[in-house]
Structure 1
Amino acid sequence: MKKLLTVTALLALSTTAFANFNDNGQNNGGFAGQVQQMTVAQALKAKDNSYVSIEGTIAKRLGDDDYLFQDNTGTIKAEIDDDVWRNQTVNPTDKVRIYGEIDNERFEKTTIDVKQLQKLN
């Protein structure tokens, strides 16, 4: 019985301690590294796993999460997951900025794995 009371008391005290926990130093942001603003032509030559930012338009959907992204220097396949859209509706005339990671597969064309999409107009 004493063990049960001791365990109950410890649980009650620890719950109170956690309720007062406040982590003011917590950072809820995302990627904080340097992101290079570039063109599609530059992105096609970028190193694998480089983070880039490109402005242009989404010309068309290629299937599933794959889209054709373009600017005045060329086109690149962009992989855009459903959660990246954040309930934004984008059509081929809308200018957007995409942030993402370059994916250079050995026997495939260079793609960008989009982490964030921002509609500019």
Structure 2
Amino acid sequence: MNKTIIACLLAAPAIAAYAQYTGPGAEAAATTVKQLLDAGKDDQHVVLRGHLVKRVSDEQYRFADNTGQVLVKIDHKRWPAGQPVSDASTVELTGKYDKEFVGTSTVKVDEIKVIQ
């Protein structure tokens, strides 16, 4: 038991350092809406850059880039604190693609970054 606790304590700084790395290779390549809709797979991790153009319902928004539009689900706690986001704001959304064979496919957003 003590060995397990010591191992966890020693590993924690290494995990935290990895999560904070911002150098080369840290950024995931952005996917376009067209690429996602044409070839996206269910539960695929995605990064989208563009604009939230319309609020559809409580947690659903229409996201658009220069290739198309997709519905995104953004939980209230995911919004960046102290940063207003409008349809003119360029945002980077990180999340998971929920591909539906019947109905509307969506992206469940884990993180929002305001680019401009």
Normalising by the smaller structure, the TM-score range is 0.7 to 0.9
Shift of 1:35: 4.6
Counterparts of 1:103-114 in structure 2, within 5 Å, are 103-114=98-109
SS of 1:23's equivalent in the other structure is helix
CA distance in 2, matches of 1:98, 1:42: 15
| Letter of the 1:58 counterpart | L
Alignment of 1:17-32 (within 5 A): 23-26=9-12, 27-28=15-16, 29=19
Alignment length (residue pairs): 100
5 Å matches for 1:1-121? 23-26=9-12, 27-28=15-16, 29=19, 35-45=28-38, 46-87=40-81, 88-121=83-116
- 8 A contact 2:47–2:93 mirrored in 1: yes
Runs of 4+ residues deviating >6 angstroms: none
RMSD of the TM alignment (CA)? 2.4
The answer for unaligned runs of 5 or more in structure 1 is: 1-17
Normalization by structure 1: what TM-score? Answer: 0.73
TM-score, L = length of structure 2: 0.76
Q: Percent identity?
A: 29
Of structures 1 and 2, the larger Rg is shown by 1
2-structure distance, mates of 1:78, 1:40: 11
